[in-house]
Amino acid sequence: MSTNFKNQMKEVMSLAWRFFKVTGESFSECLKKAWQVCRLAKEMKTKTVQFFYQKVNGEIRQAFGTMKKEKIHDKIKGTGVRKNEDLFNYWDTEVGGWRSFKKFNLIKIV
């Protein structure tokens, strides 16, 4: 197996186990969500992606986000790094600002 594939599998499995421990959902559901999150991250590195997630208050939000370096290069400010394993950070192209959501709350990628 290639190293890239092994790293991707390691990331998916550790994310799925984290979801399983935190949410108590079935492992198969956690594994599906982990694959979705990894797919979203991969697609966002190359283009703007439309996706849906559930906000903490229960509302469903449609978002258009990217992590493409050309679009966010001059938007990064500060040197401090806040790391939360449960959150997915992205650049919202509609609002023009950073947003985040809980990874397990991802519903659909269009």
Write the pLDDT tens digit of every residue in 51-102.
999 999 999 999 999 998 887 766 566 555 667 889 999 999 999 888 999 9
Q: What confidence tier does 33 reach under pLDDT thresholds 50, 70, 90?
A: very high
Q: What is the mean pLDDT of the chain?
A: 90
**Distance of alpha carbon 102 from alpha carbon 57, whole angstroms:** 12
**Other CB atoms within 10 A of residue 83 CB:** 6
Exposure string over 1-12, b if 16+ CB within 10 A, otherwise e: eeeeeeeeeeeb
pTM of the model: 0.86
Tokens 């559930």 locate to 54
Domain map (residue ranges) of the chain = 3-109
